Homo-oligomer: A and B are copies of this chain.
Amino acid sequence: MNKKLVVIGGDAAGMSAASKVRREKPGWEIVVFEKSPHTSYAACGIPYYIADQVKQSESLIARTPETFIKDYQIQAKVNHEVLQIDPENRRILVKNLKSEATFWETYDELLIATGAAPILPDLPGIDATGVFSLSTLQSGIEARAYIDLNIPKKAVIVGGGYIGVEMAEALLDRDMHVTLVDRSSQLMRTLDPDMAILLADYMAENGIMLYMDESLTKIPTDGKGKVRQVETNKRKLEADVVIIGIGITPRSDLAKTAGLKLGDSGAILVNRHMRTSVNHIWAAGDCATSYHILREEETFRALGTIANKQGLVAGSNICGEKIEFPGIVGTAITKFLDMEIARTGLSESEAKEMNLEYDTSAIKSSNVASYYPGSAPIHVKLLARKDNKRIIGGQIVGFKGSAKRIDTIAAAIMGKLTTFDLAFMDLSYAPPFSGVWDPVQIAARRLL
């Protein structure tokens, strides 16, 4: 029997699911409502677009609404906001943002893939012209247009997480004087302090002014509502452009209002099949919880990789297949100029929070054979459980070719491998790629 699938949100998770259902169920009707003008874009590419490393915003779009309509027979309706979910009558209330008309749309199966929204502190000037928080492609296009037009000289970034670090590189690339303010005492709090400091030092060496332990209090503007300064609890900073990257929150209001259960994080609670607590309603991507294999609980992690995988799992199960999302281990990667940063599994603070007894090692080695041209430092940190010696976490900070090694550690965690297994694993070696003991294995040996 042919069904009608309605999807709220036309980016990674929503479109992965819609595409999967289309492949498996050619006869089904599939309708996607997307609030913004864009579908299936790479939000993670926005900093590189603003940096002008990626020239065209179109490059970030994997598939346009027109492609979905024409090649996939998926009715991808952009500029359509969903206002309400009515689970009892299996219908949603939709607003066409261009015509302002509202209408009810029925569904047999509904997938919520509304993503996450940047957290914006309720402070004077937060809405000023020249203040950007980057989450949608539209916000990236607007930020870049503003920079292209105004050629700002002084940038202040609030928040030292992934977006803050990536935007620091981007704005440095655009010849700005960049200041980064973070209310905590370290950058990248998903890393341990001993690893995060390596990045902070490198950023400082490369001209980023870092003010840690400082909170944003106000964004003073000029007479026309344009950003002029950033005020913290400690100082005033001149600013022509401001990036707010202090965190994100799942867009789960629609789901909450409709009575769906949320997780502790506020994300829509899903099971391993991506089913929500309400029949015929599924959720996937940044708005939904992700099962964490090491924490053994549902968590909130907003990442494109997870969104794509969850979308595929949701789509498969909507079609009647039985696939479980195996879960995440908290893998992430980024870079600042030539320095690469990656992490997976548990950090020390997470392990402590879980009351796990663990051992840790941190080593410095070289990314390629020490005598090979271009050899540069790599730092690897590992965590292993004291009881069964299993690897439970890894962090890498280093230069060219360093960070993708995190996948070896992620695979070791997924395979429940021990310190010994990792130390003696048959990893690849040739002088242009590694020393004879891969740095990951040097760290593992240190734990033995």
Contacts and interface: CB of A to CB of B under 8 A. Distances in A.
Interface of A: 12, 42, 44-45, 48, 53-54, 59-60, 293, 303-306, 308-309, 313, 325-335, 340, 342, 344, 369, 371-373, 401, 403-408, 410-412, 414-417, 420-421, 424-434, 436-438
B369 A305 contact: no
B428 A331 contact: yes
A403 B433 contact: yes
Contact of A401 (B303, B401, B408): B401
Given A305-B436, A408-B408, A430 B334 contact: yes
A436 to B, nearest CB: 5
A425 B94 CA distance: 36
A115 to B, nearest CB: 14
B407 A427 contact: yes
B426 A404 contact: no
A17 to B, nearest CB: 15
Contact of A12 (B54, B326, B406, B436): B436
13 contacts: A42-B371, A44-B431, A45-B371, A45-B431, A304-B429, A308-B437, A326-B421, A326-B424, A327-B426, A329-B426, A335-B432, A344-B428, A411-B417
A369 B407 contact: no
A245 B80 CA distance: 65
A142 to B, nearest CB: 19
Given A371-B42, A373-B54, A403-B433, A417 B417 contact: no
Nearest to A434: B404
Contacts of A421: 326, 414
Contacts of A415: 411-412, 414-417
B408 A407 contact: yes
Contacts of A411: 408, 411-412, 415, 417, 425, 427
Contacts of A438: 407
Contact of A428 (B325, B342, B401, B417): B342
Contacts of A430: 44, 332-335
A428 B42 contact: no
Q: Lowest 9 A-B CB distances belong to which pairs?
A: A415-B415, A411-B411, A333-B428, A59-B371, A407-B408, A305-B429, A328-B426, A331-B426, A329-B426
A79 B425 CA distance: 34
B410 A407 contact: no
Contacts of A54: 371-373
A78 B318 CA distance: 70
Nearest to A60: B371
B428 A308 contact: no
Contact of A404 (B331, B342, B404, B416): B404
A301 to B, nearest CB: 9
Contacts of A48: 372, 431-432
Contacts of A303: 429
B428 A407 contact: yes
A53 B372 contact: yes
A191 B59 CA distance: 35
A401 B305 CA distance: 19
